[in-house]
Structure 1
């Protein structure tokens, strides 16, 4: 039976957030943001090991105590200049234990509200899938295309459009080859699509948000408190 592993690319600086340190280390309910992300994956009984891909010169990781996450979590300082490079380097590090057909779940470091239910649904729906897939939500808002003057050039139909989330789950060998061939993609599904395959969309929740701006951090704090009380 294939095994399950996870990779968290965490070599970015979070420039759009505008904080003095990478956003994955900002305080979220008394813990670094990334702690909540890692805790969700480490708690999943299916996942055997979680690799955090750090920048080689990351000064923050060693400042925290991660022992509460248990023995599954390990860090590797092989982050690249882009997300795709970091994930590919993480896959190469994981190759010491992961086989060609083992599943790898790639999850955003700044997406801390992943629930056990969503994680279980993803793994169950993709367990026998020949390609793999990702969590996503149908686009709900009206979409406008802008021109160079930032005026509306067109209204885009939203039917059949989905907003990609993470985790994105693919076989180790397939994802390694796809990312090696397509290093300019913004998510793993994009590399798989470029290889001519069609990842499956697994319905998620808007609560599985990615922290990009300061307001997102406050919302994530509320979501995590609500989850803890439910």
Structure 2
């Protein structure tokens, strides 16, 4: 096994790599399938674990948020258990539902549920890449989702996140005695989201069902059985699966730590230049001019990113995404904002409120206010009710009044665990 499988990935979310394309809008050929049809009996409680609240939010809502923040994903299908329609509706309330399809009713096993979800996507005419993810992994990061998409950017048909095994693994015989100790450097543990081309994955599922084979514990195993090569990319140790009662108790313990309120501010300006549109708050707006910028020049998202980083005391946007680095040329600014929001969560915090003021004579912000609000909520993983969008002019004074450019002011209110 290649040595690059022996990853020691830090918990700190990293800026997305140069290999990940800068995708500013949803790609019709990318979908996500979230598997939430299980009963979760091992986790205790009489309620399926995907609908239990953790840190004040349903587990399913937390699992969905990073996929909603990844604007490259055109549609998201959730497979739920029969009779869970009301639970599902309550769990997704307040999320940006524009890309959520009608929930798919699953089957008796995970394998059956995934097959039904894939069939639903296929019936809707979808033919591209699908990310299959377990709802019981609510701590998946936007960076890991982007890595999954990047891993399948070539000719591969299957790519899964893997982590080096650090424990010694033993294989038992039928009597319970040690039969073998496999070499540890040949072993990995795998996670979701797993990335596949839909057609071969669906064909493998249907072939296995036709032969009465139902013992596959993940979709990569099905692809292996069908003869398809499966590649790997670095997993994330923070992307744990909630399985047992102690998993919930540990997370509840972490969430019960005292939180202190912190406030950050951000400001950004960009001059107008040649072009036919501007990006504002993650929304492409037709205009008679563009902006001069290294990235896509979204002043609103740049100001919000700096506000969050300021509240964290972790530098500014240039610290993490320097304009001297060519990989950020033309990059979509929602990626910067999603990174800053991830840093809040990585430090055990939460975003309470985002307040944005856009300053320009043109274009008019009012017609796009709701779309901007939704885009910011999706990128940061918060509900739209936590995002305030305002717009003003400078009464024809200064550079914005002379229509030389546009500016934005932002304030971010977050809560972080109290430091010693």
TM-score (normalizing by structure 2): 0.51
Change (3 A) 1:6 1:65: closer
Aligned residue number for residue 99 of structure 2? 72
Give, in whole Å, the separation in 1 of the partners of 2:347 and 2:106.
Answer: 33
Corresponding residue SS for 2:185: coil
> How many angstroms apart in 2 are the aligned matches of 1:7 and 1:170?
11
How far apart are 1:15 and its partner, in Å?
1.6
SS of the aligned residue for 2:221 comes to helix
Partner of 1:5: 31
1:3 aligned counterpart, secondary structure = strand
- Distance, in Å, in 2 between the alignment partners of 1:97 and 1:75 is 11
Return closer, same or farther for 1:19/1:147 CA change in 2, 3 Å cut-off.
farther
What pairs with 1:10-89 in structure 2 (closer than 5 Å)?
10-58=36-84, 60-89=87-116
Structure 2 counterpart SS, 1:73: coil
Number of equivalenced pairs = 229
Superposition pairs of residues 134-149 of structure 1, within 5 angstroms: 134-148=160-174
**Two-structure CA RMSD over aligned residues (Å):** 2.3
Deviations 1:143-190 (A, max 9, x none): 122345544343232222111100111111111101111242111101
CA distance in 1, matches of 2:76, 2:226: 26
In structure 1, what is the equivalent of residue 120 of structure 2?
93
Instruction: Identify the match of residue 132 of structure 1 among 152, 158, 161.
Output: 158
Q: Is the 8 A contact 2:31 2:131 kept in 1?
A: yes
**Alignment-derived partner of residue 198 in structure 2:** 172
Residue in structure 1 matched with residue 231 of structure 2 by the alignment: 200
* Residues 1:150 and 1:69: Cα distance change in structure 2 (over 3 Å): farther
- More displaced, 29-38 or 114-123? 114-123
**Residue 125 (structure 1) shift:** 2.0
Q: Which 4+ residue blocks in structure 1 deviate beyond 6 angstroms?
A: none
Cα separation, 1, equivalents of 2:97 and 2:348: 21
Equivalent-residue separation in structure 2 for 1:75 and 1:22 (angstroms)? 20
Contact preservation (8 Å) 2:79, 2:104: yes
Structure 1's unaligned 5+ residue stretches are none
TM-score (ref. length: structure 1): 0.89
Alpha-carbon deviations, 1:3-51, whole Å to 9, x = none? 1100112111012112211010111110111110011111101111111
Whether contact under 8 Å (2:190, 2:235) holds in the other structure is no
1:226 aligns with 347
CA–CA distance in structure 2, aligned partners of residues 79 and 172 of structure 1: 18
SS in 2 for 1:140: coil
The one of the two structures with greater contact order (alpha-carbon pairs below 8 A, sep at least 6) is 1
User: 1:209 aligned to 2:240?
Assistant: yes
Greater C-alpha Rg: 2
Q: Secondary structure at the match of 1:128?
A: coil
Q: Which runs of 5+ in 2 are unaligned?
A: 1-26, 256-344, 351-415
